[in-house]
Structure 1
Amino acid sequence: MNVSQTMETEEDLLTCLHIKLYHPQQSCKGLYGLLPLGKRSRLSADDPLRLGRDAPACTFALVDVRVSRKQLALHAYRTPQSPDMLFTIQNLSQRGRLSVNSSALGYLERMDLPDKALIRFGEYEMLIIRESGEAKGSFEVEFEVLAVSPSRETCMCVPSRTPVMDTGSGAMRSFPAELRDLGPLETDETLMCPS
């Protein structure tokens, strides 16, 4: 085996965006019919990844009339301080709002995309997870459909729970009256009680 076959190349170390999609009616509609589900697509880092319903204008398209022609764009960038390829997300929809981890973006507004982000627009939820790589000129995208809402799966919502009051334990009854009057105490093996 020669050296060129064993060396790692830039193609082996591409940054990958894992995009996991969910829509409440995805089972009865062919919403993802134009997406390359389950396989990685390689993209040039100098072109934005656009997602919307207009297949010719977007890199990837959703088959849904309620999605804007151009819904959102992901722009790759690098900083002098980091070898990682990073991304910003931009809302391209004039009529729809887009949220990133509960932060709303208006038309043409953009923000840095964290390593793990929950994106919402319309009834869609997208969980985007960035897997680091060392390549500078390109990156990969892999689409997957989730059976359960990612906001439930990742606990991005706060469930309402009834608070539970800590009343101490029954062990307090075994302490002398002068210690019980002080209130709940932490116990350990080294606590000495008069007998």
Structure 2
Amino acid sequence: MSQTMETEEDLLTCLHVKLYHPQQTFRGFYHQLPLSNRRQHQADEPLRLGRDAQACTFTLADPKVSRKQLAFHAYRTPQDPGMLFTVQNLSQKGRMMVNRSALGYLERMDLPDKALIEFGGFEMLVVREPGEAKMSYEVEFHVLEVPPSTETGIAPQSITPVMETGSCNSSAYSLPGELACHGPLETDETLMA
């Protein structure tokens, strides 16, 4: 075998998981994670993240995180030589958002090359670095100093989008108070404002 031939280890896909929590400087959320250290993971096994060290591959030391919070599943398609991923919400009680879309208990979503995942006050930016390996991939955790939602342009779940119709000001419209601020209404062309 030639020494210049690339091995599977040279071509491993890597999931870069970048974490942020507003209270991370005061709490030891990440002391159980292998920060800035790539870890190899078998592609046929889900990569679980949560609070329980026995049930999860990696743990977050925060009581607001579910025992089993989420799982990444690797897969391949006949059309794409690269390894792709889905994320699954494993939390029965906690709300999880993926690129501003809610993901219910046991629901899965395909991950794009860059995704913002939010749960329990955490913002997690997941970036896929492509590779061609079939049996395993790598994962590397990083801590961010600023929320990734400010850099990605993806609004965090706590921000409410503004409707295209403008602000909701009951004095600007002649709608009854109970109807004034409850979201978009269909208009009837026969009503005059």
- 1:146 to 2:161 alignment: no
Distance in 1 (CA, whole Å) between partners of 2:160 and 2:89 is 29
Q: Secondary structure at the match of 1:34?
A: coil
How many residues are matched?
159
Distance in 2 (CA, whole Å) between partners of 1:84 and 1:68 is 31
Q: Secondary structure at the match of 1:125?
A: strand
Paired AA for residue 102 in structure 1: R
> Following TM superposition, by how much is the alpha carbon of 1:159 offset from its aligned partner in structure 2, in angstroms?
11
Partner of 1:121: 119
- Identical aligned residues as a percent: 71
Distance in 2 (CA, whole Å) between partners of 1:159 and 1:93 is 23
Q: Specify every segment of 5 or more residues in structure 2 that has no aligned partner in the other structure, as ranges.
A: 162-193
Distance in 2 (CA, whole Å) between partners of 1:146 and 1:159 is 24
TM alignment of 1:71-82, pairs within 5 A:
71-82=69-80
Paired AA for residue 132 in structure 1: P
Question: With structure 1 as the length reference, what TM-score do the two structures score?
Answer: 0.79
Distance in 1 (CA, whole Å) between partners of 2:76 and 2:14 is 15
Partner of 1:67: 65
> Following TM superposition, by how much is the alpha carbon of 1:153 offset from its aligned partner in structure 2, in angstroms?
1.7
Which digits, 9 at most, give the CA deviation of each residue in 1:11-61, with x for residues without a partner?
Answer: 110000000000000001100000000110000000000000001110000
Q: Secondary structure at the match of 2:3?
A: helix
Structure 1 stretches of 4+ moved >4 Å = none
Q: Specify every segment of 5 or more residues in structure 1 that has no aligned partner in the other structure, as ranges.
A: 161-195
Paired AA for residue 57 in structure 2: T
Partner of 2:170: none
Distance in 2 (CA, whole Å) between partners of 1:159 and 1:66 is 23
Partner of 1:46: 44
> Following TM superposition, by how much is the alpha carbon of 1:70 offset from its aligned partner in structure 2, in angstroms?
0.2
Output the aligned Cα RMSD: 1.7
Partner of 1:17: 15
Distance in 2 (CA, whole Å) between partners of 1:155 and 1:111 is 20
Paired AA for residue 81 in structure 2: P
Q: Secondary structure at the match of 1:147?
A: coil
Distance in 2 (CA, whole Å) between partners of 1:109 and 1:7 is 41
- 1:96 to 2:87 alignment: no
> Following TM superposition, by how much is the alpha carbon of 1:93 offset from its aligned partner in structure 2, in angstroms?
0.1
> Following TM superposition, by how much is the alpha carbon of 1:4 offset from its aligned partner in structure 2, in angstroms?
3.2
Larger radius of gyration: 1
Q: Secondary structure at the match of 2:41?
A: strand
